[in-house]
Amino acid sequence: MVAHRPPLLFSLMVISFLVFPSTAIYSFEGVPLGITAQGAVQGEIVQTWKMGIGAPPYTHDFTLESQPVFARVYTGVWGGTEQYTGWVQVEINGKKQERITLYGKDDMSEGVYVSGHGVYWLAAEATGLVRKGENTVTVTTSRGEPNNKLDGRVYGILVIALLETGEGTVIQYWIAEGNENLHGEGWAGTSPTRHDSCAVTFGRVAPGDIRSAELSAVLLASTRGQPDYITFNGMDLGVPAAPAADYLPGARDIGNERSLDGSGGQGVDSRYTDFETFEVTPLIRETNTVIFELGRDLDGDGMITTTGLLSEGEDYIHPVLAMLTIRRESGDYPADLSVDPITVTNAYEGERATISAIIRNTGLVPSGPAEVVYAVDDTPVETRQVAIGYRGIQEVQGTWMATPGDHTVSVSVTVAGDPDPSNNRASRSLKVGSLPDLSVSLGDLEPSGMTGSRDIPFPMTGACAEVLVLAWWLRRRQAPPNLLTCLILVSGIFALALVPAASGTASGISAVSVPVTIRNSGGSDAPTFILTLYLDGEKVTEHEVTDGVPAGGEVTVRVPVFALPGSHTLRVVADERGTIPDNNRLNNTAERVYAFP
């Protein structure tokens, strides 16, 4: 475990009034990386961290040259499994923050990103707590308490602090947070899904006037010797994995339990975690996409092998943070605001609807407030003055007494000196009437075009599966070689014994797509809601129907499902949490038995 402050310092500007982060609902597949802070400032970002899994109390000491105007503290915790619960507490300079309960698969807490088999990434506001001079951040968990099952070891601590100077060139930044669970079928539980890659896009980068640009990333649950990749606008970042004899030709191993070695050099040990920074100046475009990859099929056999002497990918790995910083040649970069697509909730006849929007700033903090206008059919219904602070992203809300009929709802923002007002307005059409009435139906299975795993013998049941999982668990924890060898041999014997039983059946996982049609027979548009899918009684995925369903209309989503060949029962529920009013919830559920090929 090491504490490190990179030699390069960057600027950060953040907005101070934002619901941040939005409530993160547990998902095995992962919480997508999303931009939660952006902007520009004259000053520097300090990234100071300690990485490498260890038992609590886990402490990081660091020094800041001046009082930060904004600070954020991150930490990672290993739960052991998504079934276990416990708690974590962050202490900053002797001030203990509120203890956070970790709910595992039932987690819906703000600032808690949890996915996979209990990998947590937590974000906490630290403005006013972190100070000029010496600082100490300590993380404790429920590990060691009587009756506690949570593993509770800490992956690391990361602090991002803004030190504003008001001098020098301007630096733009974008910070994306989440907790993606990249994994193969072997580590996906009873529904053997595969999640090979994830992406995040940093947009609205003005061309020219760029002195330098860097991308930083944090990975949890990384493993040395198992390749993984990060690309920026389609180009591989980092250097070939070393030593070359331990890898297939062309492999990279960004998540190799050594931080700051992705671009070459020795780096520093950071067990099961990685913090990396890459120079990306020549790759910058107006829109920039970062892709994290679990591995690659280097030998062309159709699968990403994670076993053997030379593996092709990670068993699983969790990208949890990506940050892009761009240093400009100029010291003048005025506030440039934009409005994301808006949402309207509770828009039913006779009800007070809420109009919500996200305002983003890619320039300096404006000297005065911005004016936000909420309008319906081009008639303003509410106007507010909003302070655009150091966060760069702010959620704003207005209200409107909904009236029957078809309407166009809009949100616009203006601020003095905005160089590009073309993106300062967003609108959407909606229909207001009686309450929505959602109903769902399941269509016939369709080929998904995804390849099932050939790494898992079929059927893989009972002791064989348990021994293989135990062997993997010990391998990732550096178990004694003799014990590990014995377990692998035993698992091989079980696998061979099962081969005759598998004769005449499929040797892999059925990968299919299930069409789910959601109808809205009510008189009002249904806003965004969650579609939940169960496989043989176990929740396997949640899909956000972002655009909702229009009144009198329908939408069809195709949900990928992985299962062993044979008969399985699928059940789908629209808006299981009841977030939107519904005239009849009895038809929000559909169930069907399928024969998986």
Q: pLDDT tens digits, residue range 387-405?
A: 998 889 999 999 999 999 9
Q: What letter does residue 128 receive in the DSSP assignment?
A: T
CATH class for domain 438-452+509-596? mainly beta
Calpha distance 584→576 (Å, rounded): 13
Lowest mean pLDDT segment, chosen from 147-161, 230-244, 491-505 = 491-505
Average pLDDT over residues 417-427: 95
Bigger pLDDT: 108 vs 368: 368
Q: Is the pLDDT of residue 410 over 80?
A: yes
Q: Is the pLDDT of residue 308 over 60?
A: yes
* pLDDT recorded at residue 449: 56
* pLDDT recorded at residue 456: 26
Provide the percentage of residues in the chain whose pLDDT is more than 90: 68
**377 Ramachandran zone, left/alpha/beta (phi>0; psi -120 to 50):** left
Q: Under DSSP, is residue 283 helix (H, G, I), strand (E, B) or coil?
A: helix
Q: What letter does residue 364 receive in the DSSP assignment?
A: P
| Half-sphere exposure for 547 (CA within 13 Å, toward CB) | 12
Q: Is the pLDDT of residue 365 over 80?
A: yes
Confidence of residue 320 (pLDDT cuts 50, 70, 90): very high
Q: Which two tokens stand for residue 217?
A: 């990333």
Domain boundaries, the chain: 30-328, 338-431, 438-452+509-596
Bigger pLDDT: 310 vs 5: 310
Q: Under DSSP, is residue 374 helix (H, G, I), strand (E, B) or coil?
A: strand
Bigger pLDDT: 168 vs 319: 319
Average pLDDT over residues 366-388: 96
How far apart are the two ends of the chain, measured CA to CA in Å? 48
* pLDDT recorded at residue 500: 29
Q: Which two tokens stand for residue 364?
A: 């300096």
Strands (E), 184-272: 197-202, 210-220, 229-232, 235-236, 258-259, 268-269
* pLDDT recorded at residue 462: 34
Q: Is the pLDDT of residue 116 over 80?
A: yes
Is residue 293 within 8 Å of 230, Cβ to Cβ? yes
**Orientation of helix 481-498 relative to helix 462-475, angle to 10°:** 150
Q: Phi and psi dihedrals of 466, rounded to 5?
A: -65, -40
* pLDDT recorded at residue 540: 82
Average pLDDT over residues 129-146: 97
Confidence of residue 84 (pLDDT cuts 50, 70, 90): very high
* pLDDT recorded at residue 321: 98
Is residue 344 within 8 Å of 416, Cβ to Cβ? no
Confidence of residue 511 (pLDDT cuts 50, 70, 90): confident
Q: Is the pLDDT of residue 468 over 70?
A: no
Q: How many CB atoms lie within 10 A of CB 209?
A: 13
Confidence of residue 489 (pLDDT cuts 50, 70, 90): very low
Q: Is the pLDDT of residue 460 over 90?
A: no
* pLDDT recorded at residue 482: 40
For residues 256, 257, 261, 266, the Cα torsion angle rounded to the nearest 10 degrees is -110
Confidence of residue 508 (pLDDT cuts 50, 70, 90): low
The CATH number, out of the four listed (3.40.1800.10, 2.60.40.10, 2.120.10.30, 3.30.2310.20), of the domain defined by the range 338-431: 2.60.40.10
Number of helices followed by number of strands (H, E) in the chain: 2, 39
Chain segment 208-219, per-residue pLDDT in tens: 889 999 999 999
Q: Is the pLDDT of residue 139 over 60?
A: yes
Q: Do domains 338-431 and 438-452+509-596 have the same CATH topology?
A: yes
Chain segment 30-72, per-residue pLDDT in tens: 999 999 999 888 888 899 999 999 999 999 999 999 999 888 9
Confidence of residue 28 (pLDDT cuts 50, 70, 90): confident
Lowest mean pLDDT segment, chosen from 295-309, 363-377, 481-495 = 481-495
* pLDDT recorded at residue 190: 56
Q: Is the pLDDT of residue 474 over 50?
A: no
* pLDDT recorded at residue 158: 98
Is residue 381 within 8 Å of 398, Cβ to Cβ? yes
Calpha distance 226→224 (Å, rounded): 6
Q: Is the pLDDT of residue 532 over 50?
A: yes
Q: Which two tokens stand for residue 382?
A: 């509410």
Closest CA to 458 of 411, 410, 499: 499
Q: Model pTM? A: 0.83
How confident is the prediction for the chain on average, in pLDDT? 85
* pLDDT recorded at residue 80: 95
Is residue 311 within 8 Å of 394, Cβ to Cβ? no
Lowest mean pLDDT segment, chosen from 177-186, 340-349, 372-381, 465-474 = 465-474
Closest CA to 439 of 577, 592, 576, 574: 574
Average pLDDT over residues 295-314: 90
Q: Is the pLDDT of residue 237 over 70?
A: yes
Calpha distance 231→432 (Å, rounded): 45
Average pLDDT over residues 297-306: 89
Q: Is the pLDDT of residue 81 over 80?
A: yes
Q: Which two tokens stand for residue 281?
A: 């100046």
Average pLDDT over residues 150-177: 92
Average pLDDT over residues 461-470: 36
Tokens 């990670």 belong to 314
Q: Which two tokens stand for residue 176?
A: 């994306």
